[in-house]
Amino acid sequence: MQKIIILSILFCLAAINFGFAQIVPTLPNTASVEACFPDTIGYKRITVGPSGRNYTDLQKALNDAQPGTVIIIDAGFVYMGGFVLPVKPASSRWIVLISSRMDLLPDQGKRVEPKASTNDPNIAEQRLAMPSIVTTNLSGIPCFSTEPGAHHYRLVGLEISAHAAVLNSYGLINFGNSGTSQNQVWQIPNQMVLDRCYVHGHSQATIMKYGIRLDCTNGAVMDCHISEFHSIGFDAQAISGINGPGPFKIINNYLEASGENILFGGGGTSIPGLLPSDIEILQNHFSKPKNWWTKDPSYEGKHWTVKNLFELKTGTRVLLEGNLMEYCWADLPIGQSGYAILLTIRTENGASPQANVSDITIRNNYIRHTGAGISISGSDDGNGIRSKRILIQNNVLEDINGPLYGDQNTAGPNDGTAFHLGEPENLMIDHNSIFQTGPITWAYKKMNGFHFTNNIVNSFISSGGYQGIYGPGVKQGDATFAMYFPDVTDANKQFHKNVLIAGDASKYANFKTISQNYFPPKNSDVAFVDFNNGPQNLLNYKLKSSSTYSKNSSDGKDIGADLDDLIRSMNLKRDCPTLPVHVSNSNQLNRIQIYPNPFTGQLQVRTSIKSLKQVYLLNSVGQMLIKIETSFENLELDCSSIPPGMYELQILQGTMFRSERIIKF
């Protein structure tokens, strides 16, 4: 996180040199989201399983658990039902629901892969090391929902799905609600985290609406695999949010959905004036499987309704960074036109007049295999708040291919178009490398504050006859600027230092005295390292040092995307402390002797292996009575002053953990 902040500061300083510092988007503030795995030393531990555990009923365990509890759920078993996360007394301590076999699942910061090997012959795949939470309710009740005001729940290492008999699922995880159950601020759940979970629908369904709904504050979805969310004739999302204010962190997930892989908005808010804000979407893999595409040889026969990869109908201070976004095709008339990203403000027919899509930063993403690039409306047909301060910087858009993935309307605005533009204010498109089949822009409303700088972009003539910076009713270039971007001039350099491959320089005569743009006839004239092999390795889209455009941007860098920065952002490690999960008893820890049990006064803890580290004694409600730090192999606890009853002894040895129930007479 520190690296991200530093990069942001450097960018702001660079923006001053560009002359548009006053219109750079405000970045999200997500510092209040407690996304890292908490230190659970001293937490009470209870077990849930079919036999020999504290509970056989998961809901009973949830009802009884107090803040500062780890609920360990037996892996490999199915728990049927719709479970409610109850509201608890105010506390900053967590209730953690966690698989009993976290030793076979990735550490935090690494994404779960359901079918990946665990290297354990008895539990071959990661999904088999998870307990399965399955809703069987035919009316669409989710696997997990929250009571008003619920807080500090973390779900870790769980498989969450719907039974094959459930053909209409309207969501599997609801962190929050809408309607009368959440129409006041105090009812909004707080600190809700989904961590290393496998959340999925199934292909027998007609509607698999969404994986998780973020109608909360301080919510996070991290290192998860969220797939098979699709519907026939309806929207479906991996992650969506309507009635939660944020902040949110969505980091390092695989996201698969037919409608929008991530969507904020799409319905009226129940809390007046609510606006989702402060949203980080980092290092995710957005995808729609090609076997959902009716034109692909792998098509499996169900025509799910396809829209786009990422959409904001509302949302402010949003950062989309370091993501791989791929495969989105036109699906008209029931779906949409195959854009990767839509920023399309919607006031929901007056139900959300506060809707706003402003302060949006889209940077360091790799976007490919779509029918069109990015569409920005700027307003809801003139209603509500106008979108402002949008930055699209240092992205690679590759194989934006109208003939292959598009709507086949070559005379229309969506045929391989890079940017479909309404009337946003202060849109900055800077240092991108864009390889598309259609025009660079299709502008359809007049806007102000348009900056297009330091980009490498195709400017071939499309199959419909469109090219370059274009808006309907006029010719490309100078005429389009005069009609749709009237405040862009040669002197203000808002169209400057771009490489328009195969562009027609004669159409940009008004931008060649002070502003400088370049029109090489073909890709080979740009002098990429290895353009044809760019899809195999992004670094091949770098410029050779001999290129005319190397170190020739307005900030002294290469024109186009900085591929090193892009790849660095996609692989940046999270700044979380390394904390042991402390779930299961290991074979070594079972060699620790705890006696006598039951006991009366003194309790002995002895080990023949590595020395003890920390020993805790907790009462039945999780209060810590004794804490001892030691480096010895043997320890005697004086428990003569505590009353008779049931207690929990927790032992930390290195990074291993053991929890034992003991009784004092």
* Coil, helix or strand at residue 23: helix
Q: Looking at residue 471, what DSSP letter applies?
A: -
User: In this structure, are 192 and 341 located in the same domain?
Assistant: no
> Containing domain of residue 108, as a range?
32-229
User: In this structure, are 317 and 199 located in the same domain?
Assistant: no
User: In this structure, are 489 and 345 located in the same domain?
Assistant: yes
- Of 528, 547, 581, the domain-final residue: 581
User: In this structure, are 575 and 606 located in the same domain?
Assistant: no
pLDDT band at 608 (very low <50, low <70, confident <90, very high): low
For residue 583, the model assigns a pLDDT of 59
How many folded domains does the chain comprise?
3
**Cα three-residue angle 544-547-550, rounded to 5 degrees:** 85
Say whether pLDDT at 402 is over 70.
yes
pTM: 0.89
User: In this structure, are 69 and 162 located in the same domain?
Assistant: yes
User: In this structure, are 416 and 516 located in the same domain?
Assistant: yes
Residue 398 within any structural domain of the chain: yes
Residue 94 within any structural domain of the chain: yes
| Predicted confidence (pLDDT) per residue in 10-53, tens digit | 444 444 344 444 589 999 999 999 999 998 888 889 999 998 88
User: In this structure, are 482 and 429 located in the same domain?
Assistant: yes
pLDDT band at 654 (very low <50, low <70, confident <90, very high): low
- Of 552, 581, 610, the domain-final residue: 581
User: In this structure, are 76 and 149 located in the same domain?
Assistant: yes
| Predicted confidence (pLDDT) per residue in 432-443, tens digit | 999 999 999 999
CA distances from 41 to 38, 225, 658 (A): 9, 28, 11
Whether 343 and 374 have beta carbons less than 8 Å apart is answered as yes
How would you write 414-467 as a 3-class SS string?
Answer: CCCCCEEECCCEEEEEECCEEEECCCCEEECCCCCCEEEECCEEECCCCCCCCC
SS3 content of the chain, % helix, strand, coil (to 5): 15, 35, 55
* Coil, helix or strand at residue 529: coil
> For 226, phi and psi rounded to 5 degrees?
-120, 115
User: In this structure, are 424 and 498 located in the same domain?
Assistant: yes
User: In this structure, are 401 and 514 located in the same domain?
Assistant: yes
Mean pLDDT of the chain: 92
Among the residue ranges 95-109, 162-176, 185-199, 576-590, the one predicted with the least confidence is 576-590
Task: Using only the alpha carbons of the chain, give its radius of gyration.
Answer: 28
For residue 586, the model assigns a pLDDT of 44
Whichever domain contains 633, its CATH number is 2.60.40.3080
| Predicted confidence (pLDDT) per residue in 241-253, tens digit | 999 999 999 999 9
- Which residues, in sequence order, are CB contacts of 297 under 8 Å at separation 6+? none
Residue 468 within any structural domain of the chain: yes
CA neighbours closer than 13 Å in the CB half-sphere of residue 142: 21
User: In this structure, are 542 and 606 located in the same domain?
Assistant: no
Please name which of 109, 105, 193, 121 lies closest in space to residue 157, comparing C-alpha atoms: 105
